[in-house]
């Protein structure tokens, strides 16, 4: 009898898993459930091109034609109300039950809210915005007009990408950050300095070490900051990170810890239920730690691993995670994780082009982060990614010499493994 595979969530992870399942098995039934209406779409462009293009459009991950060709049963605008782990069923909001042999949770994450606004009952105010979905993006597009003043809370990637896009549309932009610098937990200080300078040159007012005492939303936004005069704006965007959508896993009794806990096979505490993407806290054995990442490519790679294991495989997710961000004419890329670094090296090509590398005690690269015009740093990051994934030992002196092409390290490093 043919098996039934259910995937909850049709983002990068969900769609990639469905494709992988079909690629390796033509007989199974595949059901892909998505709470939003419409075809699956990519989310990274929402803070970039989707805000800047003359007309709004979703960049589709998969077309209706391909879904039909692959015999993937796509359930759009269909919310899963409950995951019944013991009986291996899901229940929809209309009460209908679907049984499964294996299931993948790929429900992603939702925008984190400011507790202050929730306490005051203002979390649904028309002057308050966040960005996580196409609907959020369309709402911001409808609101934004040149000459307006918008305040963004949070100088993480979403906040800064939005700041760049809105500034490019002619809005006055102020960014409030509670930390001592932008991207405090995400990138090394030398890389953050380049981005901060670029935002300053484009007229973005970034205020650090900000503590918000009160927010009032009426016909305009008023924000009281500790030790500063009150700030007024036309509207407000909160971009302070995301929380994994774990409600189904929680009610099903799956193990949780900053997301759904999975092993390197993307398997949850239930042997027939898997999770991938932003929603999961996964074991990354290369670094000996559990981690939850919000990364487009990581979601795709994890989904492939999960799908293969749902089909009975024994595959583990071991790749060094990769991430990118575009702001103005600058491209940022990073690979790996900063876990107990011993040595830190910076390759500075010019004021805007820098590569920052961290290594362990055995001179193996843990991670790297680079920034430069356009896609100029992509080749260097690709080399570093290969060195990390090969578990290579590198010569630190050569690594720090900007006159020595990084590509030359590949052969030398292999000899040291």
Helix axes 189-201, 157-168, angle to 10 degrees: 20
- On the question of pLDDT at 90 being above 60, the answer is yes
Task: Name the more confident of 288 and 251.
Answer: 251
Residue 417: is its pLDDT beyond 70?
Answer: no
Q: Among 289-298, 320-329, 365-374, 395-404, which stretch is predicted with the lowest mean pLDDT?
A: 395-404
Confidence of residue 351 (pLDDT cuts 50, 70, 90): confident
With a cut of 60, say whether residue 27 has pLDDT above it. yes
Q: What is the pLDDT of residue 1?
A: 58
Give yes or no for residue 408 having a pLDDT over 90. no
Sort strands 89-92 and 80-84 into parallel, antiparallel or unpaired.
Answer: antiparallel
Q: Identify the pLDDT of residue 91.
A: 98
CATH architecture assigned to 4-110+243-310: 3-Layer(bba) Sandwich (3.50)
Task: Give the per-residue pLDDT at 415.
Answer: 47
**What is the DSSP secondary-structure string of 122-156?**
-TT-TTEE--SSHHHHHHHHHH--TT-EEEEE--S
Q: Taking Cα atoms as reference points, which of 141, 176, 154 lies closest to residue 49?
A: 141
> Residue 416 phi/psi, 5° resolution?
-100, -5
pLDDT at residue 414 tops 90? no
3-state secondary structure of 88: coil
Give the confidence band of 307 by pLDDT, cuts at 50, 70, 90.
Answer: very high
395 band by pLDDT with thresholds 50, 70 and 90: confident
Please state the rounded mean pLDDT for residues 255-260.
Answer: 97
Domain-wise residue ranges, the chain: 4-110+243-310, 113-240, 329-414
Cut 0.85: pTM above it: yes
Tell me what pLDDT residue 416 has: 47
Q: 268: alpha, beta or left, given left = phi > 0 and alpha = psi -120 to 50?
A: beta
E strands in 2-117: 4-8, 29-33, 72-75, 80-84, 89-92, 97-99, 102-105, 109-111
Chain segment 223-235, per-residue pLDDT in tens: 999 998 899 999 9
The answer to whether 60 and 35 are in contact (CB under 8 A) is no
- Nearest alpha carbon to residue 307 among 70, 10, 19: 19
CATH assignment, 329-414: 3.30.390.30
Q: Tell me, what's the pLDDT at 81?
A: 97
Given this chain, do its domains 4-110+243-310 and 329-414 carry the same CATH topology? no
347 φ, ψ (degrees, to nearest 5): -105, 110
- State the average pLDDT over residues 93-102: 97
Question: 């049984």: which residue's tokens?
Answer: 99
Q: What is the mean pLDDT of residues 383-410?
A: 89
Say if CB 303 and CB 282 are below 8 A apart: no
Give Cα 292 to chain centroid, integer Å. 10
Structural domain 113-240, CATH architecture: 3-Layer(bba) Sandwich (3.50)
pLDDT at position 389: 93
């Amino acid at each position: 009898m043919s098996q039934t595979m259910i995937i909850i969530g049709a983002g990068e992870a969900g769609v990639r898993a469905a494709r992988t399942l079909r690629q390796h098995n033509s007989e199974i039934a595949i059901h892909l459930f998505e709470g939003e209406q419409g075809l699956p779409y990519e989310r990274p462009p929402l803070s970039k091109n989707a805000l800047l293009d003359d007309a709004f459009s979703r960049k589709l991950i998969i077309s209706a034609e391909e879904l039909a060709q692959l015999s993937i049963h796509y359930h759009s605008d269909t919310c899963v109300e409950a995951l019944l782990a013991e009986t291996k069923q899901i229940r929809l909001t209309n009460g209908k039950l679907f049984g499964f042999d294996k299931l993948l949770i790929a429900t992603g994450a939702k925008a984190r809210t400011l507790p202050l606004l929730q306490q005051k009952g203002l979390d649904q105010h028309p002057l308050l915005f966040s960005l996580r979905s196409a609907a959020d993006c369309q709402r911001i597009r409808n609101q934004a007009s040149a000459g307006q003043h918008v305040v963004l809370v949070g100088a993480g990637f979403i906040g800064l990408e939005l700041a760049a896009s809105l500034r490019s549309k002619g809005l006055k932009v102020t960014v409030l950050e509670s930390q001592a610098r932008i991207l405090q937990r995400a990138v090394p200080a030398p890389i953050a300095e380049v981005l901060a300078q670029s935002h300053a040159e484009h007229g973005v007012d970034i205020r650090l070490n900000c503590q918000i005492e009160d927010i009032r939303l009426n016909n305009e936004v008023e924000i009281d900051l500790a030790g500063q005069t009150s700030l007024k704006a036309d509207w407000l965007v909160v971009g302070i990170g995301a929380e994994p959508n774990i409600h189904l896993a929680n009610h099903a009794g799956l193990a949780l810890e900053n997301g759904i806990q999975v092993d390197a096979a993307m398997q949850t505490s239930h042997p027939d239920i898997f999770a991938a993407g932003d929603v999961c806290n996964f074991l990354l054995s290369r670094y000996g730690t559990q981690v939850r990442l919000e990364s487009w490519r990581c979601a795709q790679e994890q989904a492939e691993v999960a799908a293969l294991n749902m089909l009975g495989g024994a595959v583990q997710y071991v790749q060094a995670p990769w991430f990118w961000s575009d702001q103005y004419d600058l491209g940022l890329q990073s690979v790996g994780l900063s876990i107990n670094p011993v040595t830190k090296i910076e390759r500075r090509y010019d004021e805007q082009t820098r590569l920052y590398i961290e290594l362990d005690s055995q001179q193996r690269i843990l991670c790297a982060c680079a920034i430069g015009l356009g896609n100029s740093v992509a080749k260097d990051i690709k080399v570093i990614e290969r060195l990390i994934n090969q578990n290579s030992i590198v010569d630190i002196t050569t690594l720090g010499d900007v006159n020595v092409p990084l590509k030359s390290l590949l052969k030398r490093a292999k000899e040291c493994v």
